[in-house]
Every structure is written in structure tokens, then in C-alpha cells.
Structure 1
Amino acid sequence: MTYRLSFPGDVFDTYKQLPDDARRDMAVCLVDAQQNPLAASEPYGEDDGIIRTVARGHTTAVVLIGEPTRTITVLAIAYAGA
């Protein structure tokens, strides 16, 4: 089952300001995570299965996996410019 993707407004603003290639990388890893977020992500600190990271290229996002609501919420985005 596919998870719904959720962006708080300020985080979506960060996403929109990424360079085109970084925005594409972020979109790809978030879409990939929608099918199986645990398999497509890595633990963020201690592995609680809830707060995870996804990364591709020079972009990383911290996500919150809401199992009961089947939602992935993007909490923060980081870009290590090239």
C-alpha cells in the first residue's frame, strides 16, 4: 500500500528553493519511499522505525513515518551543494 506524502509549508518552501537536480533527487527518493518507507530509508539516530532519513545525490531529508495514518511527513531537508 502506498503512503501519502506530507510537507509542512516551511519544508516545502525549502524543497522549492533547491536547484533543479537536487529537487529531482529529493523527489525520486521520496516517491520511492512511498511504497515501503522502512526499506527505502535509514535510521535517524536510534532505530525506532518512525523517524528516518532518505537521501540521494546531495540531498537528505528527515521523515516521520506514520504507520497508523500511512503518511510520510517530511520534517527537514538538507542540501550539500555541489
Structure 2
Amino acid sequence: MTYRLNFPDDVFDTYKQLPDRARRDLAVCLVDAQGDPLGCSEPYGHDDGTVRTVARGHVTAVILIGRDTLVLTVLAIAYAGLA
């Protein structure tokens, strides 16, 4: 089953400001996670199976897996690379 992707406006603004490569890396992570959120992510702190992280290259995102709604919500984005 495929999860829908949700970006709150402020997080999407962060996404738009990332360098091209970081946007691509994050997009790959999120598309993969839509098909298998648990298999394509790592626990964020305590593994509750709901709040997870995805990462590739120099970009990381915290996602919320809505199992009942089949929605992945991007809660935060961190970029540790050079612009």
C-alpha cells in the first residue's frame, strides 16, 4: 500500500530552500518511504514505529507515519551540507 505524503507549509518552505542535490536526495527517501515506511526509515529516539527518520547524503527528515490514515507527514528537515 502506498502512503500519501504531507508537508506542513513551514516544512515545505525549508524543503524549497535546500540545494538541488539535497532536494533530490530527500525526495528519493520520501518516495521510497511511501511504499514501505518502516523498512525505509530508522527509529527517531525510542522506536514506537510512528516517528521515524529518513536520510540520504547530507539531508535528514523526521516523518510521522499515520497508519490509520496512510499519510506520511514530514515533521522536520535538517541539512548538514554545504550550499
The count of aligned residue pairs is 82
Tell me the TM-score normalised to structure 2 length. Answer: 0.97
What do residues 3-35 of structure 1 show as CA deviations (whole Å, max 9, x unaligned)?
000000000000000000000000000000000
Counterpart position of 1:36: 36
Counterpart position of 2:12: 12
**Aligned Cα root-mean-square deviation (Å):** 0.5
Counterpart position of 1:48: 48
Following TM superposition, by how much is the alpha carbon of 1:60 offset from its aligned partner in structure 2, in angstroms?
0.1
Tell me the TM-score normalised to structure 1 length. Answer: 0.99
2:60 is the counterpart of 1:60: yes
Q: Could you tell me which amino acid in structure 2 is paired with residue 18 of structure 1? A: L
Q: Give ranges in structure 1 of 5+ residues lacking alignment.
A: none
Off by >6 Å, runs of 4+ in structure 1: none
Q: How many Å separate the matches in 1 of 2:46 and 2:36? A: 19
Q: Give ranges in structure 2 of 5+ residues lacking alignment.
A: none
